[in-house]
Amino acid sequence: MIWYPVQLPSWIRWPSHSTVRHVLYGIIIGFSLSLTSTSFALYYQSRKRHRLTTNFAPRPIELRSDEVLSGVTGLIGNTPLVRINSLSDALGVEILGKAEFLNPGGSVKDRVALRMIDDAERMGLLRPHTGSRIFEGTVGSTGISIAMVAKARGYDATIIMPDDVAEEKVKALKALGATIERVRPASIVDKKQYVNLARQRAKNFGKRDKIDASDPTANVPQLITSSSSSLVVTTTALHVGFDMEDPQDNEEFLTKPRGYFADQFENRSNFDAHFDGTGPEIWRQTNGRVDAFVSGAGTGGTIAGIGRYLKSMNENVVVALSDPEGSGLYNKVKHGVMFDRKESEGTKRRHQVDTVVEGIGINRLTNNIDLALPIIDDAFRISDAEAVSMSRYLVQNDGLFLGSSSACSLVACVKLVRRMGWAEGQRVVTILCDSGNRHYSKFWNDEYLRKANIPIDPRIVEDLLQPLPPLEAE
């Protein structure tokens, strides 16, 4: 027993040699097993990543000019991804913007409008050139896209919007022949809120023109049932439903005008447009090398669709939300509660999301926001001053003239890169939703901003881009 170095009290007994040997074998076998399984897991992950990144062969972006496209809808999507040179160089990473402002209707919403109308036609809810009308409640961009696609496909459009959005959106809608109704901004519980009104107008569309007092069904909306509970489709046909036995009845049903409430907030086609379109395009354009995706959320369709697609290809992609002032989403992501500080302070300037940034920010949950929330990893609240600063900085340094939500998301990109401590070429992708020319009257109007007490100061972004001080030696 000489190898036992310590004298133990008599009531404690050293284990026998064979016990010690078995315990040692156990430890060695356990350690080797865990080492082997970890190596297998790492190997499997790297193979999976390799497979995903090589699935799409590197290729130049398809040039649109070398093929003939069918009508204006052929111009939608397949937008380029552009490196934002000033920010990328300053941060040592790749900040890449999906140039959605190049869509024919001028925004990312062209994709959604096209998909909603395509899907409605596929489901037999809409038929072109039947005098049918599409109704939508929107702050503008979606309305313009719907008005454009509607004309291309043989429909009319009625757009209900708040009366405080930038005037150039109204002009574009008028030019596209849409019927416009502008209403006071109101809460979603208010019947006169623009989305509720659009639904109501679509319902009214199905009311019979001539009211026969003896007919109890007269003046009742002729609702067509659809697979989605949120969609409202009405018809002016007397008999709702197919009757294959009676072709005349069928003919009436098929050819009578329909009213269709597109409902981008709840409509799944919104999500699908990005999951099937924008997401795969980004994956192809980056050859699967994406470290993060940053986006704002208005309906949630963009961040949900693209975020979910990218995560389905690589679960490590970080999805981050850029949320403007006055929106409740930031708190929902960070603290699980939909609540904006300004509501408690009573300083709200507008009834809806209180910001000069248009198109993003929301204070209620919708189907598309529900799809987004589980995959959002991080969120940034961006002030109006920061968004304005970014827009001016980008014109000054890159010649990029962008709309407010794009500027907001680019501030969030910078903050995310700083938070992650990235500086080695990591790739952050965001959406450049629309161009500055949609925002002359507010976001790009210095006088308007001064009156609203929003500073115009490119130094805010310059400060964000300052190299971080080196870590102090311990």
CA distance 458 to 463: 9
User: Is 301 a residue that touches ligand PLP (CB under 6 A)?
Assistant: yes
Of 399-418, which residues contact ligand PLP (CB under 6 A)?
403, 405
| Closest residue to ligand PLP using C-beta atoms | 359
User: Is 203 a residue that touches ligand PLP (CB under 6 A)?
Assistant: no
User: Is 360 a residue that touches ligand PLP (CB under 6 A)?
Assistant: yes
- The sheet with strand 156-162 has its strands ordered as 179-183, 156-162, 133-137, 258-261, 232-235, 223-224
Find the part of the chain contacting ligand PLP (CB under 6 A) among 20-28, 280-288, 298-306, 465-473.
298-306
User: Is 298 a residue that touches ligand PLP (CB under 6 A)?
Assistant: yes
Q: Output the 3-class SS for 206-270.
A: CCCCCCCCCCCCCCCCCEECCCCCCCEEEECCCCCCCCCCCHHHHHHHHHCCEEEECCCCCCHHH
**Binding ligand PLP by CB under 6 A: which of 73, 79, 103, 107?**
107
With respect to ligand PLP, which residue has the nearer C-beta, 137 or 300?
Answer: 300
User: Is 355 a residue that touches ligand PLP (CB under 6 A)?
Assistant: no
Shortest Cβ 328–ligand PLP spacing (Å): 14
User: Is 381 a residue that touches ligand PLP (CB under 6 A)?
Assistant: no
Binding mask 140-169 for ligand PLP (x = CB under 6 A): -xx---------------------------
User: Is 356 a residue that touches ligand PLP (CB under 6 A)?
Assistant: no
**Binding ligand PLP by CB under 6 A: which of 77, 105, 185, 300?**
300
H helix runs in 130-190, sequence order: 141-153, 167-175
Shortest Cβ 242–ligand PLP spacing (Å): 34
Shortest Cβ 388–ligand PLP spacing (Å): 15
Residue 178 exposed, middle or buried by CB count within 10 Å (0-12, 13-18, 19+): buried
Report whether 120 contacts 153 (CB < 8 A): no
Question: CB under 8 Å to 359, separation ≥6 — which residues?
Answer: 107, 139, 140, 141, 296, 298, 403, 404, 405, 433, 434
CA distance 362 to 286: 30
By CB under 6 A, name the binding residues for ligand PLP. Answer: 107, 109, 141-142, 296-302, 359-360, 403, 405, 433-434
